[in-house]
Amino acid sequence: MAAAASSIAPTPTVPRPDSPRAGLVRDTGAVRRDSVRATRWIASGAVKVLGNVDIDQGSVAGLTSVAGRLSASSLSVRGTLEVDGTGDVRGSFSGVGTLRFAGAFHAASASVRGHVLASAELRVDRDLRVTGLLEATAVTAGLIDLVGAASVPGDLAAIGSITGRFKGDSNLGRLRARSIVLRGPPGGFVPKLLRKVFGGNATVRAERLEAETVELESVDVGFVRAKSIALGPDAHVAELEGTIVRRHPSARVGPESRSPPPYGLSR
């Protein structure tokens, strides 16, 4: 006689809850950890985390490397921070030094002095302020304030304003905001070969701008669409749609522009 099949259902696998957070985790010197899960994390030296970091408050200095995800309520960095996974800072994020994000990175607000390298989307709910060099595929924020240089080939979008004061070569893709102000170094555009020989200023180029108001100075833009456009010294726009409310004698507008100038202003 064949044995009867068992009627007992297998016990379902219950996922293990996350372990409770430690209170304070302090790392000094050369440290390697599997993961960090704490209310507060203070690290200085060379710290390598092979897994995830899940903290409320963090303050790291020196070289900090996270192979997994980074999750924090607030985080301050001095030195170099490298995150291979995604990053999520639910509150304020501040950094001085070099920050490298391989995955998408989000923060409620962010202020950085140094070099930001984001290989995926960089998203900030409120203010994003970078002084130094910003390199990212795409950036979205409530407000964007850049000082130094930037390379963002994709979208650079803000709910409020985008302000750029550039001192180094910068290349931007498509910018969208309520107001956009871009200022390159004074003195116009100098070819790189001439700059190497004689010295000179950086070049700032953007592919497309869309806003209610746009102000440009020493910037080369392919296309501008805005209700109000102010062209300062050495601004160059290949094509535009909107009304030029102010134009410096050294500003140039390409022949394809369809913008009617205000009464009394010659093109």
Two structure tokens written together for 251? 């500003």
Sign of CA dihedral 150, 155, 158, 161: positive
pLDDT confidence of 187, banded at 50, 70, 90?
low
Q: Dump pLDDT digits (tens) for 49-82.
A: 999 999 999 999 999 999 999 999 999 999 999 9
Report the alpha-carbon distance of residue 175 to residue 155 in Å, rounded: 6
Query: Is-contact 113 131, C-beta < 8 A?
Result: yes
State mean pLDDT over 3-30: 63
State mean pLDDT over 110-123: 96
Q: Which of 13-27, 157-171, 176-190, 213-227 has the lowest mean pLDDT?
A: 13-27
Can you list the alpha helix ranges (DSSP code H) found in the chain?
192-198
What is the rounded average pLDDT for all residues in the chain?
87
Q: Dump pLDDT digits (tens) for 34-51.
A: 999 999 999 999 999 999
Q: State residue 266's pLDDT score.
A: 45
**Amino acid in the structure at residue 29:** G
Domain regions of the chain by residue span: 25-135, 160-259
Q: State residue 202's pLDDT score.
A: 73
* 42 DSSP β-pair partners: 26, 59
Rounded to two decimals, the pTM is 0.82
Q: State residue 189's pLDDT score.
A: 46
Residue-by-residue DSSP string for 145-209: EEEEEEEEEEEEEESSEEEEEESS-EEEEEEE-SEEEEE--TT----HHHHHHH-----EEEEEE
Report the SS3 class of residue 33.
strand
Report the alpha-carbon distance of residue 115 to residue 37 in Å, rounded: 27
